[in-house]
Amino acid sequence: MPINSFENYPMSWKPDLSNTKPPIYLALVRQLEDDIKAGILKPGTKLPPQRELADYLDINLSTVSRALKICEQKGLLSASVGNGTYISSDVTSDKIFICGQENPPFIEMGGLYPHIEANRKVKQYAERLLKKPDALKLFSYAESEGTEIQRTAGAAWFRKMGLHTDSQHIILAAGGQNALTATVCGLLKQGDRIGTDYVTYPGIKTIAQMIGVQLVAIQHKDFEMTEAGIYYAIQNENIKGIYVIPDFHNPTSHIMSLETRKMIAQIAQEENILIIEDAINNLLEDNPLPPIAAFAPEQVICLASLSKTIAPGLRTAFIYVPEKYHCDLATTLYNMNISNPALLSTISADLIINGIADEVIMERKKEISNRNLIVNEILNGYLVESKLTCPIRYLLLPDYFTGKSFEICALQTGVQVFGAERFTVGNKPADKTARISVITPPTINDLTEGLQRLKKILS
Amino acid sequence: MPINSFENYPMSWKPDLSNTKPPIYLALVRQLEDDIKAGILKPGTKLPPQRELADYLDINLSTVSRALKICEQKGLLSASVGNGTYISSDVTSDKIFICGQENPPFIEMGGLYPHIEANRKVKQYAERLLKKPDALKLFSYAESEGTEIQRTAGAAWFRKMGLHTDSQHIILAAGGQNALTATVCGLLKQGDRIGTDYVTYPGIKTIAQMIGVQLVAIQHKDFEMTEAGIYYAIQNENIKGIYVIPDFHNPTSHIMSLETRKMIAQIAQEENILIIEDAINNLLEDNPLPPIAAFAPEQVICLASLSKTIAPGLRTAFIYVPEKYHCDLATTLYNMNISNPALLSTISADLIINGIADEVIMERKKEISNRNLIVNEILNGYLVESKLTCPIRYLLLPDYFTGKSFEICALQTGVQVFGAERFTVGNKPADKTARISVITPPTINDLTEGLQRLKKILS
DNA sequence: AAATTTGTCTATTTACATTTC
DNA sequence: GGAAATGTAAATAGACAAATT
């Protein structure tokens, strides 16, 4: 029994281990999970210091520490020395975004599903390709990293973005998320930490959680990571790398400045840390800035998916990978996929080589621009400013909304949007913001209707 | 300093930590890795007891234990109570099989790449499909788990195998390896153990290693796991599941008996362990036995890839998944792939529904049978017996060969085969055997030539 | 600026269970 | 069948370093 009675202390969490079976540390983990599920522990709650918990439970400090470490790896909390332990701010938000559901019972402006009409040229090329004499091999195994021709097309794709490289540095993957998963699984291990923006693409969160990698929110200013923040995370949080989305950041729609790109490249080189650069939206910009990889080609893994620019159904992503990471990444992709679909890789590469890809991008940009004009008109005053070709927009909500409450409210009126809670990293309370997809509603009418419903809630 | 001098003791490993920097446990891990790489520690070597090492190094037992545990998770060794610690038997063998290399400089009989001519009907159907009015959506995102129609086709596929189920229990994946990776990543965690045959599909080894799952070789008799062996592994090795390949086992070509299938099903139910059943070859058999899943539908995840039966380029696998594992598996697949390629999933499902799949299987079986007649004739006396439709054959080598030495020797004469070392699990010395692929040589001539070269080495 | 708070990490102690002899 | 050998696992101790006050 503890010597002091804690009954009158104001402890934010009083786990009860009396009816649990050993080992103690696992019982404590279970208790924490249950209390989060039961709503007893809320996002952002500061837990008592580990020593205090140990004292209260009459167990050793290290036992508490061990339990909390496991919870941290599960993404339930984040802890830092001197500062304390806090429940993660996204523990109560959904992490799966149903994909491509047909005929949803609402106007979908949550998930990002590009406009179907722009697939036409891709389809037409597929038909031509199948008529070629050696088409049979399109249904056999493909080379695991992609053929020389496909990797050369990938290099050309990166060249459009401003990254000059060659086929040796390119690997194909089955889509952007597949590429990201392979990168994280192949180059990081359980317990490693990587820095991210304080709101970021949820896909990186689910992957990190899956393999026990911690995400650390890096200090930011005006939607960009600060130099001091990055140095801090390197020195004090021991991060192995940084995940960034420089172009049309998800969810904020921000485009990272050239200075910050160079700054991150510089630090990456000096400190030898890995940059995972998600350049999925780069070519949707009119005059895209070069990716960070262009300034630190030895440190940056740069991911370029064709899903948002050409067609999602191609399931093709090109990965720019520096020599030193090549083997690990290729091995991991081999383990996950064996190979990419030859048919789709071939279509993707050919479209780039024969110039059709450029035409498709042009069409997509045109369509998105038209839509953004409408968005700007209807939601004027609630939007984070953005270029016209940005596929998402970021809403700044009135004070009395949280992202989550707005999301619920919007769904009541038949519009799906995603509140900031889905994107948060770490334990700071989420911003009062929400992301809307400009590209997803099938028709302009659907888009307009959706926007007007949102407007009604807002004003 | 240790009190006793060990200089005269016959210790099989004398790590030297004098020039290493702390932490001790990591230094010891590094030393072991280096000594394996340098050839100082050979596969199968028994290390000194942990207590002896601790004494010799003058460190605590737990420190040694911690270091060796890490090495075990890396797949470098395996340890068991009372028995000791042994270097894994496959530490020096290659784990990546280059895939679909064009024009290899040898006759490829290592990797399994199905015959290209049988892709014709698949290609023809793809052309028809693209002409349909709603073909544009084949290039958009697909539903993550597959559409209702696709999952129904999956259920029909399993029905052919003798497993009666419905679309609710089916999930699509991007090929067999993708399905296996998702299963292991989604349902197991670092440190978990699963049982396998003492030689098995190398894909499970690389995945297990990637996420730190241990493989435990289960006692066998006549190419099948024994009941006692499974119980032993459950009770003493604490395995969470078993990975099996009942049909045309890889690499032994063995077909598991009906009794053993039922026995495994029974144990799985009684002991509540997970069975991962790789049914990739089931429909290549003439009268296939039902999969284990048919006898324990709540315990078995059954994987059915179309790669070997229809066409590898479809990158389609169907997963039969019991209710209780459905959510975890679906989430993991979503994390890895977002969705499967709509075009390929649709082709796969349609081929099954319209019966073309059956025709393709028939063609493939015919081709394999023709080839096996030739194999039987040329390598008579060195083969493990097998049904004529088996895509691989297992060679029993003369005593003076190891699998690895035969592999090297074969490559010298221009034939790639895979020695048993690539398939071994655990620390027992590998059998003197090798696997050859019947299906890979592009023409009958290539096959004959390859077989004759092997024959020459053997006799 | 120094003292205190707080989480992290390695190594150690101790108990235990199985296998081998 | 009992004793010795051997690996496993939880809990604890202690030193450390960063952050806060």
> Is any atom of strand D within 7 angstroms of residue B10's beta carbon?
no
Single-letter code of the amino acid located at A129: L
DSSP bridge pairs for B170: B320
Alpha-carbon Rg for chain A, nearest whole angstrom, is 24
For residue A296, the tally of other CB atoms under 10 A from its CB is 22
Token couple for A219: 């200090």
A280: contact with B, CB 8 A cutoff = no
The predicted structure's pLDDT at residue A97: 63
The predicted structure's pLDDT at residue B98: 61
DSSP bridge pairs for A395: A383, A434
DSSP-H helix ranges across A188-289? 202-211, 227-236, 258-271
pLDDT digits (tens, 9 = 90+) for B8-51: 457 888 888 887 887 889 899 989 999 998 888 888 888 989 98
CA dihedral B30, B33, B39, B40 (to 10 degrees): 50
Protein CB footprint (7 Å) on chain D nucleotides: 4-14, 17-20
The predicted structure's pLDDT at residue B42: 87
| Yes or no, beta carbons of B341 and A314 under 8 Å apart | yes
Token couple for B377: 């004739």
Single-letter code of the amino acid located at A140: S
DSSP A247: S
> Is any atom of strand C within 7 angstroms of residue B238's beta carbon?
no
| Yes or no, beta carbons of A136 and B143 under 8 Å apart | no
Contacts of B127 in chain A (CB under 8 A): 127, 130-131
The predicted structure's pLDDT at residue B97: 62
Percent of chain B with pLDDT over 90: 66
Residue B4 to chain A, least CA–CA distance (Å): 34
| Yes or no, beta carbons of B99 and A336 under 8 Å apart | no
Residue whose CA is minimally distant from C19 C1': B82
DSSP A316: -
Residue of A nearest to B310 (CA): A139
Q: Is B296 helix (H, G, I), strand (E, B) or coil?
A: coil
Query: Which distant-in-sequence residues (6+ apart) come within 8 Å of A234 by Cβ?
Result: A267, A271, A273
The predicted structure's pLDDT at residue B169: 97
Nearest DNA or RNA nucleotide to A23 (CA to C1') = D10
Percent of chain B with pLDDT over 70: 96
Residue from the list B102, B135, B313 with its beta carbon closest to the beta carbon of A123: B135
DSSP A383: B
Q: Strand D within 7 Å of which CB atoms in B 73-132?
A: 79-85
**Pairing, β A214-217 against β A193-196:** parallel
Q: Is B447 helix (H, G, I), strand (E, B) or coil?
A: helix
Single-letter code of the amino acid located at A277: E
> Is any atom of strand C within 7 angstroms of residue A12's beta carbon?
no
CA–CA gap between residue B419 and residue A59 (Å, rounded)? 53
Residue whose CA is minimally distant from C12 C1': B60
Residue of A nearest to B173 (CA): A337
pLDDT digits (tens, 9 = 90+) for B104-138: 788 999 999 999 999 999 999 999 999 999 999 99
Distance of CA A355 to the CA centre of its chain: 29
| Yes or no, beta carbons of B100 and A175 under 8 Å apart | no
| Yes or no, beta carbons of A101 and B143 under 8 Å apart | yes
Nearest DNA or RNA nucleotide to B47 (CA to C1') = D6
The closest alpha carbon to B341, from B177, B203, B146, belongs to: B146
Nearest DNA or RNA nucleotide to B46 (CA to C1') = D6
- One pLDDT digit (tens) per residue for chain A, 459 residues: 333 444 445 788 888 888 788 788 999 998 999 999 888 998 888 899 998 899 888 898 989 998 998 898 888 888 888 888 989 888 777 666 665 566 778 899 999 999 999 999 999 999 999 999 999 999 999 998 999 999 999 999 999 999 999 999 999 999 999 999 999 999 998 888 899 999 999 999 989 988 888 898 998 889 999 998 898 888 778 889 999 999 999 999 999 999 999 999 999 999 899 999 999 999 999 999 999 999 999 999 999 999 999 999 999 999 999 999 999 999 999 999 999 999 999 999 999 999 999 999 999 999 999 999 999 999 999 999 999 999 999 999 998 998 989 998 999 899 999 999 899 888 777 889 999 999 999 999 999 999 999 999 998
Contacts of A114 in chain B (CB under 8 A): 140
The predicted structure's pLDDT at residue B73: 83
pLDDT digits (tens, 9 = 90+) for B260-287: 999 999 999 998 999 999 999 999 999 9
pLDDT digits (tens, 9 = 90+) for A124-134: 999 999 999 99
Alpha-carbon Rg for chain B, nearest whole angstrom, is 24
DSSP bridge pairs for A220: A225
DSSP bridge pairs for B366: none
Helix (H) / strand (E) element for B57: namely helix B50-57
Residue of B nearest to A114 (CA): B140
**Pairing, β B220-221 against β B214-217:** unpaired
Q: In what order do the strands lie in the sheet with B193-196?
A: B170-173, B317-320, B300-305, B274-278, B241-244, B193-196, B214-217
- Does B2 have pLDDT greater than 50? no
Residue A7 to chain B, least CA–CA distance (Å): 38
The predicted structure's pLDDT at residue B80: 82
Main-chain phi, psi angles of B34, to 5 degrees: -60, -45
pLDDT digits (tens, 9 = 90+) for A299-354: 999 999 999 999 999 999 999 999 999 999 999 999 999 999 999 999 999 999 99
Buried b (16+ CB within 10 A) or exposed e, B178-201: bbbbbbbbbbbbeebbbbbbbbbb
Number of H helices, E strands in chain B: 14, 17
> Is any atom of strand C within 7 angstroms of residue A65's beta carbon?
yes
- Domains along the sequence of chain B with CATH: 3-87 (1.10.10.10), 107-118+358-458 (3.90.1150.10), 136-355 (3.40.640.10)
- Does B69 have pLDDT greater than 70? yes
- Does B3 have pLDDT greater than 50? no
> What pTM value is reported for the model?
0.90
Residue from the list A123, A336, A338 with its beta carbon closest to the beta carbon of B99: A338
Residue from the list A139, A312, A331 with its beta carbon closest to the beta carbon of B122: A139
